[in-house]
């Protein structure tokens, strides 16, 4: 799948959120999208998913089966978890028996009769993930999938992502918490100043800066730097 000179803004007189974006997604690869708050990561993901259309440029080669889990699952819907997922399965022409295994794997099978507005943030996130995974997508787009998840599910998600890519699924993730950092062969794209730049330790325009911090500050400093869009590595991880 390829984006060629893509430009997008939400309203006609608004500044461009993205401009001249050209990139290719490796089939069966994992792409992580980084950037500071408001840089345009979710917008890029929506364009890749086909939920928004570029004002300029082209997007070609999008697979037919796309799964998209938004940053915030819209809980403001008058359904139970089970009826919502059955509805999503029907729209995607997937048998509703596909729901059970995902509910079990993401540990929310006890919530199938709970109404969406009554879900906790993390449980809603899991339902959002399940609806994205239901149709066995060839392209899976996850916008901050780790936010609010319990530790067990958070730890299980990278393995799940790897499993999908080994079956050929192309995965695009925006992940402030850097939970997929440890996975091998992750392509990194950095969104800043309305452009998207591939980020690798060997990029000619990047350098490594060592920062010495007190042990009790390490998590806070790491979170701050990541929120500012920096690529942070912890040697102890």
Ligand X SMILES: Nc1ncnc2c1ncn2[C@@H]1O[C@H](COP(=O)(O)OP(=O)(O)OP(=O)(O)O)[C@@H](O)[C@H]1O
Q: Which of 1, 30, 31, 35 binds ligand X (CB under 6 A)?
A: 35
In the complex with ligand X, the residue whose CB is nearer, 11 or 214, is 11
> Should residue 39 be labelled a site residue for ligand X when binding is judged by CB under 6 A?
yes
> Should residue 128 be labelled a site residue for ligand X when binding is judged by CB under 6 A?
no
In the DSSP assignment, the letter for residue 26 is P
Phi, psi of 130 (to 5 degrees): -60, -45
Instruction: Decide: residue 212, CB within 10 A, 0-12 exposed, 13-18 middle, 19+ buried.
Output: exposed
Sign of torsion over alpha carbons 157, 159, 161, 167: negative
In the complex with ligand X, the residue whose CB is nearer, 94 or 192, is 192
Q: How far apart are CA 17 and CA 162, in angstroms?
A: 30
Q: How far apart are CA 162 and CA 165, in angstroms?
A: 5
Q: How far apart are CA 220 and CA 170, in angstroms?
A: 32
Q: How many residues bind ligand X (CB under 6 A)?
A: 11
> Should residue 121 be labelled a site residue for ligand X when binding is judged by CB under 6 A?
no
> Should residue 125 be labelled a site residue for ligand X when binding is judged by CB under 6 A?
no
Residues in 162-221 at the binding interface with ligand X, rule: CB under 6 A:
none
Which of the stretches 24-32, 38-46, 155-163, 202-210 binds ligand X when contact is defined by CB under 6 A?
A: 38-46
Q: Which of 6, 25, 31, 40 binds ligand X (CB under 6 A)?
A: 40
In the complex with ligand X, the residue whose CB is nearer, 211 or 227, is 227
- Tokens 């916008």 belong to which residue? 143
Which of the stretches 41-49, 112-120, 146-154, 195-203 binds ligand X when contact is defined by CB under 6 A?
A: 41-49
In the complex with ligand X, the residue whose CB is nearer, 39 or 139, is 39
> Should residue 42 be labelled a site residue for ligand X when binding is judged by CB under 6 A?
yes
Q: Which of 5, 10, 95, 200 binds ligand X (CB under 6 A)?
A: 10
Give the alpha-carbon dihedral of 77, 80, 81, 85, to 10 degrees: -80
Compute the 3-state secondary structure of the chain and give helix, strand, coil in percent, each to the nearest 5.
Answer: 35, 20, 45
Binding footprint of ligand X on the chain (CB under 6 A): 10, 17, 35, 37-43, 71
């Amino acid at each position: 799948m390829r984006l060629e000179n893509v430009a997008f803004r939400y309203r006609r007189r608004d500044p461009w959120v993205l401009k001249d974006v050209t990139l290719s997604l490796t089939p069966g690869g994992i792409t992580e999208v980084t950037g500071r708050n408001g840089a345009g990561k979710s917008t890029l993901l929506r364009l890749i998913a086909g939920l928004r259309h570029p004002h300029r440029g082209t997007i070609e080669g999008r697979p037919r089966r796309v799964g998209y889990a938004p940053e915030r699952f819209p809980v403001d819907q008058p359904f139970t978890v089970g009826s919502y997922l059955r509805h999503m399965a029907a729209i995607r022409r997937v048998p509703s028996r596909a729901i059970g295994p995902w509910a079990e794997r993401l540990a929310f099978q006890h919530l199938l009769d709970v109404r969406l507005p009554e879900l906790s943030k993390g449980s809603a996130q899991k339902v959002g993930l399940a609806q994205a995974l239901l149709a066995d997508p060839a392209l899976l787009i996850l916008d901050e999938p780790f936010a609010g998840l319990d530790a067990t599910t958070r730890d299980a998600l990278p393995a799940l992502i790897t499993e999908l890519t080994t079956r050929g699924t192309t995965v695009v993730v925006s992940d402030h918490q850097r939970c997929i950092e440890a996975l091998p062969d992750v392509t990194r794209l950095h969104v800043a100043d309305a452009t998207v730049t591939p980020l690798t330790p060997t990029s000619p325009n990047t350098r490594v800066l060592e920062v010495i911090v007190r042990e009790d500050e390490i998590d806070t400093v790491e979170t701050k730097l990541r929120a500012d869009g920096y690529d942070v590595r912890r040697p102890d991880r």
